[in-house]
Structure 1
Amino acid sequence: MSKLPRVAVVFGGRSSEHAISCVSAGCVLRAIDRSAWDVVPVGITREGRWALAADDPERLQISAGRLPEVPETGTAVVLPPDPTTGGLVLQEPGGLPGALRSVDVVLPLLHGPFGEDGTVQGLLELADVRYVGSGVFASSAAMDKGHMKALLSAAGLEVGPYVVLAPRDWDRDPEAERARARALGLPVFVKPCRAGSSVGITKVTSWDALDAAVEEARRHDPRVIVEAGIVGRELECGVLEGEAGGPAEASVVAEVRVDAAHDFYDFGAKYVDGGATLDVPADLPAEVADEVRRLAVQAFDALGCEGLARVDFFLADDGRVLVNEVNTMPGFTPASAFPQVWAATGLDYPALVDRLLRTAAARPLGLR
């Protein structure tokens, strides 16, 4: 029996970002130092079933355009919201549940609702299991783009103009909601409030296309946000919780440049056809890069984030630095910005994963 601390890498999940979560998990499984950590992969199917997964990173990559997913097979496991059980419980077919050896830390590589939004974090808190990343409130607040922007604005951070179309308001008086959106001016970006990886996003350049864009976003989330288009550059900065109680640290700043084949930084440009270039570090004046780094840490602290986050910005043509969003569990795929900016800062992929696990393992349980 291994006496190494055990980490459960949890991935997949019920959101529309299931496949990207799988890809992130494959990269992390490949990078974890097996001499320091005992690893147990746990997949969550699209229907929400938890099961032991094969420790095979090759199965969790995009291949010939095929997106990976957690299969329905595999021995079922559950995580009871009971701190006396010691972690995961194995459900043997036809038999009584058996205890899986205690889990020291969970790495929830879950993107989107039912994973990144505080739901799984709440389960882990109830179970008294340490985990990587932000707690319940910060995870939930950052997942909802409308609430996130309101909190950031209240903390003195500048965000772009936006309106939230709540489902009850859109259903009751769609014309009034259309008028609120039209006040932003064209173009606008219509998004699910609680989704990521550019899933369900439409760039609207004619108001005739607004309703279809809202319905596309509502396929992923009944709550929709409409954001004014910002003319400028897209920047990204990684943040890590400080070690030994120190202040949070920001990475170098990267810039996303999208090629002409894509109208914006959509899912295809991010993950499928290489339609975007990430400049690491971004070609910025030192004072602008320092300002972005300062604001990234301020946003991290404003939401009460823990562990890690990627903060996305617009550098407007008029020189303003606007916070676009905070991602509390950013992608860990080869195309993802978060590992790249930290590698350029001096923390390579395996060291980054190890730091996240060590930070989580040292975290106190309960209220903090």
Structure 2
Amino acid sequence: MKILLIAGGWSSEREISLVGARGMQAALEQRGHSVTFFDLLDGFDTLLQTAQQHDFALINLHGAPGEDGLVQAMLERVNCPYQGSGPAGSFLALNKAAAKQIFRLAGLPTADWVLLPRRPAPDWTPPFGWPVFAKSNTGGSSLHLGRAASRAELEPVLDEIFAAGECAIIEPQLTGQEVTCGILGSTALAPILIQPVAGDFFDFTSKYAKGGARELCPAPLPEAVTAEVQRIALAAHKALGLDGYSRADFILGPDNSLHLLEVNTLPGMTPTSLVPQEAAVAGLDFGQLLERLMELGLQRHAAR
């Protein structure tokens, strides 16, 4: 198959996107596909023309454009099939404050939050008290993320978020461990328990530094907890109107309570990324996973 592999872009997660896409290209070429590596930063103005010359587009973009649904909407205009969710689901999932409203309406557990589109007044304090986590409302990869135990500690985190042109979302600090669970098709995969080594929460260093975190797959959790993680991940996938695949992130409390943090529509895609690890437990190697995503994308395209 002639595949257009769209990567790079111009978000803060550009370099992560490029690294993952090179691995995807190698895996696909090993399986006999013809792959055009397309950096959106340099090629945006020729995206539609180039997509028309290919059988399928694989999107490996993080942040916007990509996770915001723009590229997906453009590909649909030239009838080019692609993997994963459509424009609406992508946009809703990327916006954490919007997604959390949808989670609440669907009866799914998520922490309280406050959206700050602009810097609050000097006497502002969060309604749920300190400490809090502040992060970009539409960012990922744990960039522009910080913990604050006071307004003074919050200020430099907000400086970083607003300097990047983002809105901030504030949530109370939740005690527990991070668990993530991928969806492939209509099936929830084996969850992963994440134990940071370089810090006490899953920040950028924990995610991408060698040995920054232990990722235990399948997660060594009680059967009932595993089932509940999978149930909520699939329910969130459906509530947002997603397709193909996604990855839901949770905080698992000491009492085995669960809080849904967010859902990623274009999760990391290297052989050692979280969803590929879960797919391996289900019997799919990296190349097979990519081909399964393409198969699901072609099915969705045909149904449209």
Deviation at 1:335, TM superposition (A): 4.3
Cα separation, 2, equivalents of 1:211 and 1:287: 41
Written as runs of structure 1 = structure 2, the 5 A alignment for 1:1-368 is: 5-32=1-28, 34-45=30-41, 49-50=42-43, 78-80=46-48, 87-88=49-50, 102-167=53-118, 170=119, 174-175=121-122, 178-179=124-125, 181=126, 183-241=127-185, 248-259=186-197, 261-364=198-301, 368=304
Deviation at 1:159, TM superposition (A): 0.1
Report the AA paired with residue 254 of structure 1: I
C-alpha contact (below 8 Å) 1:112/1:195 kept by paired residues: yes
**Structure 1 7/24 Cα, relative in aligned 2: closer, same or farther at 3 Å?**
same
Alignment correspondent of 1:66: none
Report the AA paired with residue 148 of structure 2: V
Cα separation, 1, equivalents of 2:110 and 2:145: 19
**SS, match of residue 257 in structure 1:** strand
Deviation at 1:33, TM superposition (A): 5.2
C-alpha contact (below 8 Å) 1:194/1:221 kept by paired residues: no
Instruction: Output the aligned Cα RMSD.
Output: 1.9
Cα separation, 2, equivalents of 1:283 and 1:345: 16
Cα separation, 2, equivalents of 1:320 and 1:272: 29
Cα separation, 2, equivalents of 1:163 and 1:221: 18
Deviation at 1:162, TM superposition (A): 1.2
Which one has the largest radius of gyration?
A: 1
C-alpha contact (below 8 Å) 1:255/1:279 kept by paired residues: yes
C-alpha contact (below 8 Å) 1:33/1:354 kept by paired residues: no
Between the two structures, name the one with larger relative contact order (CA 8 Å, sep ≥ 6).
Answer: 2
C-alpha contact (below 8 Å) 2:29/2:35 kept by paired residues: no
Structure 2 stretches lacking a partner, 5+ long: none
More helix by share: 2
Large movers: runs of 4+ above 4 Å:
33-36
Deviation at 1:334, TM superposition (A): 4.3
Cα separation, 2, equivalents of 1:27 and 1:43: 14
Q: TM-score, normalised by structure 2?
A: 0.94
Structure 1 stretches lacking a partner, 5+ long: 52-76, 81-86, 90-100, 242-247
The size of the alignment, in residue pairs, is 304
- Identity value in percent: 35
